[in-house]
Structure 1
């Protein structure tokens, strides 16, 4: 496995006891593009993503949107502000139809009172997540635009038909490049036979070639 396969396979396993505790709570359904929480709100919950995709993003005073992170099934999110008690520094929305479980302070206290060792397990889990995110920032910050776009496509490859539901604008916001750069790069990838572009969807035809490009 090369360094980019390791990078893309970055999921951190949650302690099984916490996993089962979170899964036992009822999930709320969110439609694609529905807001889960907004930047500046005081946090009442953090969240377990039972099904779907969620994106965290920030808005500038001018209304520009920048995607910070993308969460997939089995991830938790919104925990930083929940635990530090300060207003949320980002917003979150469902990127696809999703099922999300809200975890309150009362919930987490109850879990820890019933099973005190879960507190240590959870701290270790959060510490590993912080380390992983730090490594991701270090890796992505030095990538040229074309490789950031390739990495995004592979990281978002969640559909059974090897496709990514996205637009050129959403890719640009996520990786910090302009729409023209995204369009030019996707056209190049398509000419190479790596992807097939459709309306609001990109099909990854040759994942191995994209991974090889990332590892060059």
Structure 2
């Protein structure tokens, strides 16, 4: 297994104890494309995604949007600013109809008082997320557009054995390139028979070829 397979195969999981606790709290339903919190707000709570998908993104001063990640069922989000006390550095919106549980400061203090080990679980979880974010920043800074898109597709493919649901614009926002560049590179991958594309869907045909591209 090469370094890219190790990196791409690594998923950040929430400790089982916290998973069980959060699932007992009341949840709130959010419609698709609904804003949960905005960049610059003070974080008075964080969130546990019981069902659905949530997209974290940032906006630059000139109005450009960059997708950071998509959270899925069983993940927490918005916790970094909650713990460090600084304004939120990103926004979050639902990427599908979603069921979300809000975790307050009072909640987390009770959990930590009952089970101090939960605090260590959170430190480990936050450390993993920081490491993943550092890798992403390095990739945006140093990888070519082709490699960024290949990595995006491979990461997405971790969550499904079927086609990847996304548009060229989605990919461009996620990896920091224009939609035109995405289209050109996907056409190249398609000609090599590494992927198969149709409307809003991409199917990976040759994962090894994409991994070799990342290694080159």
Question: By the TM > 0.5 criterion, same fold?
Answer: yes
Q: Secondary structure at the match of 2:157?
A: coil
State the match for 1:67 in structure 2: 67
State the match for 1:89 in structure 2: 89
State the match for 1:203 in structure 2: 203
Q: Secondary structure at the match of 1:156?
A: helix
Structure 1 residue 157: Cα displacement: 2.5
After superposition, the C-alpha distances for 1:136-176 in whole angstroms (9 at most, x for unaligned) are 32244321100101111121236645222211112111111
State the match for 1:33 in structure 2: 33
State the match for 1:134 in structure 2: 134
Query: Kindly tell me: are residues 19 and 167 of structure 1, through their superposed partners in 2, closer, same or farther at Cα, counting changes over 3 Å?
Result: same
1:142-181 equivalent positions in 2, closer than 5 A: 142-157=142-157, 160-181=160-181
Query: Kindly tell me: are residues 141 and 75 of structure 1, through their superposed partners in 2, closer, same or farther at Cα, counting changes over 3 Å?
Result: farther
1:106-145 equivalent positions in 2, closer than 5 A: 106-145=106-145
State the match for 1:45 in structure 2: 45
Aligned length: 216
Structure 1 residue 16: Cα displacement: 2.1
Segments of 5+ residues of structure 2 without an aligned counterpart are none
Contact 2:196 2:205 (C-alpha < 8 Å) held by counterparts: yes
Contact 1:162 1:205 (C-alpha < 8 Å) held by counterparts: no
Query: Kindly tell me: are residues 110 and 71 of structure 1, through their superposed partners in 2, closer, same or farther at Cα, counting changes over 3 Å?
Result: same
Query: Kindly tell me: are residues 207 and 29 of structure 1, through their superposed partners in 2, closer, same or farther at Cα, counting changes over 3 Å?
Result: farther
Segments of 5+ residues of structure 1 without an aligned counterpart are none
Bigger Cα displacement from structure 2, 175-184 vs 149-158: 149-158
Structure 1 residue 189: Cα displacement: 1.0
Under a length normalisation based on structure 2, what TM-score does the superposition of the two structures give? 0.89
1: distance between equivalents of 2:206 and 2:98? 28
Bigger Cα displacement from structure 2, 103-112 vs 137-146: 137-146
2: distance between equivalents of 1:163 and 1:56? 22
The reply on whether 1:8 has 2:8 as its aligned counterpart is: yes
2: distance between equivalents of 1:97 and 1:151? 27
Q: Secondary structure at the match of 1:196?
A: strand
After superposition, the C-alpha distances for 1:88-117 in whole angstroms (9 at most, x for unaligned) are 121111223333222111110111121122
Q: Secondary structure at the match of 2:111?
A: helix
Contact 1:162 1:203 (C-alpha < 8 Å) held by counterparts: yes
